[in-house]
Amino acid sequence: MKRRDLIALLGGVAALRPLAARAQQKAMPVIGWLHFGSRGLFAYQLLPFREGLAQGGYVEGQNVAIEYRWAEGQIDRLPALAADLVGRQVNVIVARGPPSAIAAKKATSTIPIVFTAGIDPVASGLVASLARPGGNITGLSQLASELVPKMLQLLFELVPQGKVFGLLVNQNEAHPWVREVEQAAQMNGLRLALVNAGSDSEIDAAFATLADQHADALVIGDAVFFTSRRPQLVALAARHRLPTIDRFHEFVDAGGLISYGPDLAEVTRQVGVYVGKILKGEKPADLPVQQPTKFELVINLKTAKALGLTVPPSLLARADEVIE
């Protein structure tokens, strides 16, 4: 080979190296994280998610990237945020909460989606069936239809002398479980005071209405909007001295009385596991929608004391965690 031909060949190889490096960088898969809330309130969910990813061999910043989109509690922002992730051609979308899942499903029929939602994913049209989701979406259901009536029963154990129990719902979200809660209330001889709230001011008004109706306790219904308003709900429950139950452990951590719901850390970890499987080539249509198997009962004894409540030993014995 002539010297000038060798120089040209080596020069060509050198020129290709930056292109190869850029191609390698582009090959790193990208996850789109679509969340209805704010990073400030929900950043704790990222740790178990990353743990789930790590089970599949994926570490953020090393061999996978994550594009975060937070709606900051403004549900109407989700369609645009979902469209943005689709436009960036992410490899998979994680959709936290029913509105996020619905927005993601409407935004793409090709990019894989892994959701978590407290609604019936079949009845809501997210998937064809739990065992065979079909299409480009799968995830984890949080069984809200069974959960909220159970929350009412637990709160009644704590306030057995109560006659009027409030149920806080967001009129902007579907609540197919309301009828079941009404039946549970009737079985316990309770009158159910249904109050709606879809804004901060309406939450204030709902608590005022419950005070006027002499409510003895309150169940916070399963709604994405309330999840992003936890500090306000805890403060109002304390101000009105109203025993209140929520489905999130974080409600009790913030000073709420009692919570009962799925182990969200485990749910989020499983989301990471599913994302890892999809990045390795598995199809969402072949991954069954999972349902939680572990539920946590958490009681804040300090709050109970402030409300003048004595927690029954039978309830304490069943608690997974007691905050003193």
Tell me which H or E stretch contains 35: strand 30-35
Q: In a 3-state reduction of DSSP, which class is residue 295?
A: strand
**Top-confidence residue, 3 or 128:** 128
Handedness of CA 114, 120, 123, 129 (dihedral sign): positive
Exposure string (b/e) for 102-124, b if CB count within 10 Å is 16 or more? bbbbebbeebbbbbbbbbbbeeb
The pLDDT, as a whole number, for residue 158 is: 94
The pLDDT, as a whole number, for residue 148 is: 81
* Structure-block tokens of residue 293: 């198997």
The pLDDT, as a whole number, for residue 307 is: 95
For residue 244, name the pLDDT band (cuts at 50, 70, 90): very high
Q: Please provide the average confidence, as pLDDT, over all residues in the chain.
A: 88
The pLDDT, as a whole number, for residue 160 is: 93
Half-sphere CA count of 123, side-chain side, radius 13 A? 12
pLDDT digits (tens, 9 = 90+) for 26-78: 579 999 999 998 898 889 899 999 999 999 999 999 999 999 999 998 889 99
Quick one: average pLDDT of 170-184? 79
The pLDDT, as a whole number, for residue 22 is: 47
For residue 6, name the pLDDT band (cuts at 50, 70, 90): very low
Tell me whether residue 95 is exposed, middle or buried, using C-beta atoms within 10 angstroms of its C-beta: 0 to 12, 13 to 18, 19 or more. Answer: buried
The pLDDT, as a whole number, for residue 26 is: 52
What span, in angstroms and rounded, lies between the C-alpha atoms of 36 and 115?
A: 12
Q: Do residues 224 and 173 lie in contact, with contact meaning Cβ atoms separated by under 8 Å?
A: yes
Residue 20 has pLDDT above 80, yes or no: no
pLDDT digits (tens, 9 = 90+) for 276-308: 999 999 999 999 999 887 889 999 999 999 999
pLDDT digits (tens, 9 = 90+) for 128-163: 999 999 899 999 987 666 788 889 999 999 999 999
Residue 21 has pLDDT above 70, yes or no: no
User: Where does residue 23 fall: left (phi above 0), alpha (psi -120 to 50 degrees), or beta otherwise?
Assistant: alpha
What span, in angstroms and rounded, lies between the C-alpha atoms of 65 and 44?
A: 18
Q: To the nearest 10°, the Cα dihedral for 261, 262, 263, 266?
A: -160
Domains of the chain: 8-141+263-286 (3.40.50.2300), 144-262+295-323 (3.40.50.2300)
**Top-confidence residue, 148 or 220:** 220
Q: Do residues 289 and 130 lie in contact, with contact meaning Cβ atoms separated by under 8 Å?
A: yes
Handedness of CA 99, 268, 297, 144 (dihedral sign): positive
The pLDDT, as a whole number, for residue 144 is: 60
Quick one: average pLDDT of 221-242? 90
DSSP string covering 188-245? TT-EEEEEE-SSHHHHHHHHHHHHHTT-SEEEE-S-HHHHTTHHHHHHHHHHTT--EE
Residue 174 has pLDDT above 70, yes or no: no
Q: Do residues 222 and 148 lie in contact, with contact meaning Cβ atoms separated by under 8 Å?
A: yes
The pLDDT, as a whole number, for residue 207 is: 97
Least confident of 127-141, 174-188, 226-240: 174-188
pLDDT digits (tens, 9 = 90+) for 103-123: 999 999 999 999 998 778 888
The pLDDT, as a whole number, for residue 17 is: 52
DSSP string covering 128-172? S-SS---TTEEEEE--HHHHHHHHHHHHHHHSTT--EEEEEE-TT
What span, in angstroms and rounded, lies between the C-alpha atoms of 222 and 117?
A: 10
Residue 178 has pLDDT above 60, yes or no: yes
Q: Are strands 137-141 and 113-117 parallel, antiparallel or unpaired?
A: parallel
Q: In a 3-state reduction of DSSP, which class is residue 181?
A: helix
For residue 98, name the pLDDT band (cuts at 50, 70, 90): confident
* Structure-block tokens of residue 155: 């709160």
